Structure 1
Amino acid sequence: MNYNKINGQHFLSMVSNANIRLENEKAYVDSLNVFPVPDGDTGTNMSMTFKAAVQEIEGMTTTSIGEVSKVMAKGALMGARGNSGVILSQIFRGIAKGLEGKEEVNAYEFALCLLEGSKSAYRAVMRPTEGTILTVIREVGEKGIEVHTDNVTEFMGKVVEIAGETLERTPDLLPQLKAANVVDSGGMGLLIILKGMFEALESGLKLAEKKAEASFEEYVAARDTHTEITFGYCTEFIILSEPDQGEFKAYLETMGDSIVYVGYDDIIKVHIHTDNPGLVLAEAGKRGELTKIKIENMREQHRNLQITEEHPVAVEKPVMPEVKEKYAFISVSMGDGIKDVFMDLGVKHVISGGQTMNPSTQDIVKAIEETNAEHIIILPNNKNIIMAANQAKDISSKDVYVIPTKTIPQGVAALTAFNLEADMETNYDALMASLETVKSGSVTYAVRDTEIDGKEIKQGDYLGLLESKIKEARTDLYGLTEDLIAAMVDEDSSSITLFYGEDVQEEEYQRFLEKLEEKYPDLDVMSVSGKQPLYYFIIAVE
């Protein structure tokens, strides 16, 4: 169907269809991960980010494309997960900037907005890498403005062609992609989104069919209902108003718990568990128009879930200290044992996440808002979470510092370098310096056949990673682990720490541990039951 101009409702249908398409194909995007490890989650992160963005605009009736895109961009910003999700959120933030104040746009005006999306994405990345989603959106923007047509549907068809052709060239720009015989996964995710937007226009704004598949968010929501429910109604809404000076937030604290209060430009996003949602909404209505209201009876959900679940999972909630502390740490990790280590080292709030399960910007903002301290320090412990952590820092009005820890060992090293008596500047320098004092290794398995750096890797092989790069690949778990440790130890090493995962067999592991102690009599060999999934071992050498 032909459209010479598109308005807010057209745009809503376009991105809604794109959301369905990406949700349906996220597993395929995940499979394009260059590394054959079982945590290739680009598709999952992009899908969850885009889903959060589209959920923000569902039900909007305005025809202003500027208004719809603005709300969507904020939803993407708060829901961004992983580097791919953060970059995607910045693309749509730039598009929204280009659409600001517009009721509708023609093909050329929309092309300019895509170019603005490209610029926004590049600004968000400190060291842009070509051959990635950045290249795809850049060429879409640069070549899109050269497309001469008055038909927006035809224009989007050309955009899809440009994106597809660029995606096919990503292996020529990034050697890792060529070696793995794949195209860039983030670029593929963007192509699916653009295709979904084009197909909506082509079909007369009809939406694609959803696959009957439970999302990760639904799983987490179901799991979380096992917690003890103090306040019965999960209440969420947005106030169309500029944030106040804290009066409404103070009121919320008297009405329930699990409070998230995020002010951004001219909206306030609120989440609270309360027994009186009507009173909360009435008070909120005094401050501006309300939208995206959602109230769920958690006690009813809890009763229903108990009927079908045999093994409830308890989710610990952080306790808000009554007195503001000088310092507080927020850390991200997976595995109950690793979580216990961080808590023992003084972390106030551990966000469950890491490989395969990157927390969103909003998850991190929520942790910041629940942390009562003068200085808040975030340890992402994963390279794919650092951008979301920095985005949360920028959103928060609190004094937040992000230490760019890429591994669990770096997170632990940072905590041991912290000095409660020192000032923040001194501590920041010490924590940053600590990242160079530890070597990080890990052992997992290959999910597919591939070749990386000349190494032939078969599905099911054990993989030894040194600082996130594949060092070893073979079928002998403990032989590989021993050689990986040998590559990490040098004459300056004083200790070896192994965090062993939930799939490690205890008896065999203990024999291996004894062998290590004999091999390295001058080093402290320490063992921690990390209980982490997917990774047999996470190794720290200091």
Structure 2
Amino acid sequence: MQHTKLSGETFYNMMVNGSNKLKEKSSFVNSLNVFPVPDGDTGTNMSMTLRAAVKEIENSKHLSIGEISRKFAKGALMGARGNSGVILSQILRGISKGLENKVEADSQEFANALREGCKSAYKAVMRPTEGTILTIIKTAAETAVNCCTDDITELMDSVYKQSKIMLDRTPEMLPPLKKAGVVDSGGMGLIIIFEGIMEVLRDNIEVLTTDKSIANTVSVINNYNTQDIKFGYCTEFIILGDSKKVTQFKNDLELHGDSIIVVGYDDVIKVHIHTNDPGIVLSKAIQLGELSKIKIDNMREEHRSLLSESVHEFAIEEKTAAVEDSYQELKRYAFIAVAMGEGIKNIFKDLGVDYVIEGGQTMNPSTQDILDCINRLNAEHIFVLPNNKNIIMSANQAADVSDKDIRVIPTKTIPQGITCITTFNPEADVEENVEELTSATDMVKTGSITYAVRDTEMDGVVIKEGNILGLIEGEIKEVGEDVFDVLEKVLDEMIDDESELITLFYGQDCKEEEVDVFFTNIEEKYSDIDVQCYKGEQPLYYFIISVE
């Protein structure tokens, strides 16, 4: 269908449909992760960023395109998760700038808005890398600006086609993509958004408003109380295992919940259950094979949230009442850290961190999550420890929109975060501490043990799905079949003559008795080095290793 002008309503439909499209395909985008480790989350981060933006424009369908784009960009900015989500939010921020104060937009104005989106994205990245989502938005902007047509549908068709061609070239720009045999995941996410936009323009799709679906849900939920929910956790996941065991597994689950759906085909088993103990269900499931796409929702919490018209997608560990927060005495310093695993979160709390946000690999907190913690602290100076390279941009974005003195220390790993908090000197001035904490990140080496989620070849090393992977500073250094064999080899490579301390954090999939045996052997092997071991309970990673 031809569009010579974009109204606010059409723009609304474009953005919502783009968000819906990305949500449908987020798992596919995640699978394009270059490294074959189980923490590819680009699709999830981009999708959740857009969903936060969509929530911001509920009930705004009939506003001007300038106003809707402004609200949409604000929602994306505050909901941005991970580097890909932050970059996407900056693209939308630039588009909003290009559409500012406009009731409608013609093809040239929309093309200029895409160019502003490109400029904003490049400015947000300290060292822009080509072959990424940045290259795709640059191609989109250049194509739009150079497209001589009054028809916005035709313009976006050209944008989509040229962007897709450029996406297919990204492996030639970035050797890691070529080695892994994938295109850039962030670029693919943007292409999928363009697909959703094109559907609306071409087929004149009117997307159902989110607020209607919420209203309908609330009307149903109002018919029962939270206490009426017998099993509180809606648990869904996929088992990559023998589907012949479906019947027995379903029978095993009957004692642990209701609304049970277990469907198997080939080597995949899809599971849905309402239960009061997701841990038991997952521990039974993992005996059948590798788990994927785990999703656990607290239905009682959702019920309460819907009734109060307040939905919070991310749980902050400390649930201190807002009234109590408002009476906090002003203190000089406060800390916020991001971590996953009960053991690791407790270590940060014991070291004096004020708030620990649950998050990390596959679960990046949003700008708003970090800002919520900042707003609850009454301190002259607030330090944020992201502890993950994919959270640093969100933390910086939260600092930018806060009126408090926020210092983001760019910690990329849990060991770096722990080293920083132990280095902190409450008697020193803030600039001194910033310098010391930033320097402290170089004092610690980080390793980790996880597993491969797909077959690949990297630097001449053949990796098979299910192999145990040993990483040092994010690079795969060891591949094997046994967790402890790989762990020992990684330790041997990390330790040198200057090493004084080894710290192991073991994950939720490790057996404590096996860890104890290994710990004893390591103490004997490195008798001149202090060795510590903690129950981290982190998912996905059997071990996180720190060597100082």
**What TM-score do the two structures reach when normalised by structure 2?**
0.80
Q: In 2, are the aligned partners of 1:226 and 1:315 still within 8 Å (CA)?
A: no
Partner residue, 1:405: 411
Corresponding position: 1:301 with 2:307: no
Partner residue, 2:356: 350
Q: Tell me the distance in 2 between the aligned counterparts of 1:341 and 1:454.
A: 39
Q: Tell me the distance in 1 between the aligned counterparts of 2:208 and 2:375.
A: 38
Q: Tell me the distance in 2 between the aligned counterparts of 1:111 and 1:354.
A: 36
For 1:141, the aligned partner's letter is: A
State the shift of 1:450 in Å.
Answer: 1.1
Q: Tell me the distance in 2 between the aligned counterparts of 1:209 and 1:314.
A: 29
Q: Deviations over 1:8-39 (max 9, x none)?
A: 11100111111110110001001111111111
State the shift of 1:384 in Å.
Answer: 0.2
Q: Deviations over 1:146-198 (max 9, x none)?
A: 11111111111111101100100000000000000000000000000011111
Partner residue, 2:382: 376
Q: Tell me the distance in 2 between the aligned counterparts of 1:96 and 1:454.
A: 46
Q: In 1, are the aligned partners of 2:318 and 2:356 still within 8 Å (CA)?
A: no
Q: Tell me the distance in 1 between the aligned counterparts of 2:475 and 2:435.
A: 27
Q: Tell me the distance in 2 between the aligned counterparts of 1:184 and 1:323.
A: 48
Partner residue, 1:123: 123
State the shift of 1:315 in Å.
Answer: 5.2
Partner residue, 2:312: none
Q: In 1, are the aligned partners of 2:226 and 2:303 still within 8 Å (CA)?
A: no
State the shift of 1:303 in Å.
Answer: 12
Q: In 1, are the aligned partners of 2:446 and 2:473 still within 8 Å (CA)?
A: yes
Corresponding position: 1:142 with 2:142: yes
Q: Tell me the distance in 1 between the aligned counterparts of 2:27 and 2:131.
A: 21
| 1:449-460 equivalence runs, <5 A | 449-460=455-466
Q: Following superposition, which runs of at least 4 residues in structure 1 exceed 6 angstroms of deviation?
A: 297-300
State the shift of 1:496 in Å.
Answer: 0.2
Partner residue, 1:102: 102
Q: Deviations over 1:96-118 (max 9, x none)?
A: 00111111111122111111101
Q: In 1, are the aligned partners of 2:318 and 2:355 still within 8 Å (CA)?
A: no
Q: Deviations over 1:446-468 (max 9, x none)?
A: 11111222221110011111111
| 1:197-276 equivalence runs, <5 A | 197-207=197-207
Q: Deviations over 1:381-440 (max 9, x none)?
A: 000000000000000001100000000000001011100111101111110110110000
Segments of 5+ residues of structure 2 without an aligned counterpart are 211-224, 228-298, 308-314
Partner residue, 1:513: 519
Aligned residues: percent identity?
Answer: 56
Partner residue, 2:68: 68
Corresponding position: 1:35 with 2:35: yes
Q: In 2, are the aligned partners of 1:21 and 1:208 still within 8 Å (CA)?
A: no
For 1:519, the aligned partner's letter is: K
Corresponding position: 1:523 with 2:529: yes
Q: Tell me the distance in 2 between the aligned counterparts of 1:78 and 1:437.
A: 33
Partner residue, 1:324: 330
Partner residue, 1:363: 369
Q: In 1, are the aligned partners of 2:387 and 2:416 still within 8 Å (CA)?
A: yes
Q: Tell me the distance in 2 between the aligned counterparts of 1:527 and 1:324.
A: 36
SS in 1 for 2:380: strand
For 1:184, the aligned partner's letter is: D
State the shift of 1:63 in Å.
Answer: 4.1
State the shift of 1:143 in Å.
Answer: 2.2
Partner residue, 2:238: none
State the shift of 1:300 in Å.
Answer: 9.4
Q: Tell me the distance in 2 between the aligned counterparts of 1:4 and 1:209.
A: 24
SS in 2 for 1:6: coil
Partner residue, 1:539: 545
Moved more, 507-516 or 66-75: 507-516
Q: In 2, are the aligned partners of 1:417 and 1:431 still within 8 Å (CA)?
A: yes
For 1:301, the aligned partner's letter is: H
SS in 2 for 1:441: strand
State the shift of 1:369 in Å.
Answer: 0.3
Q: Tell me the distance in 2 between the aligned counterparts of 1:522 and 1:364.
A: 41
Q: Tell me the distance in 1 between the aligned counterparts of 2:197 and 2:4.
A: 15
1:487 to 477, 482, 493: 493
Q: In 2, are the aligned partners of 1:80 and 1:360 still within 8 Å (CA)?
A: yes
State the shift of 1:4 in Å.
Answer: 0.8
State the shift of 1:323 in Å.
Answer: 1.1
State the shift of 1:59 in Å.
Answer: 1.4
Partner residue, 1:180: 180
Partner residue, 1:269: none
Partner residue, 1:18: 18
Partner residue, 2:430: 424
SS in 2 for 1:470: strand
Q: Tell me the distance in 2 between the aligned counterparts of 1:333 and 1:423.
A: 26
| 1:147-186 equivalence runs, <5 A | 147-186=147-186
Q: Tell me the distance in 2 between the aligned counterparts of 1:457 and 1:62.
A: 53
Segments of 5+ residues of structure 1 without an aligned counterpart are 211-224, 228-296, 306-312
Question: CA 1:69–1:299 in 2, change beyond 3 Å: closer, same or farther?
Answer: closer
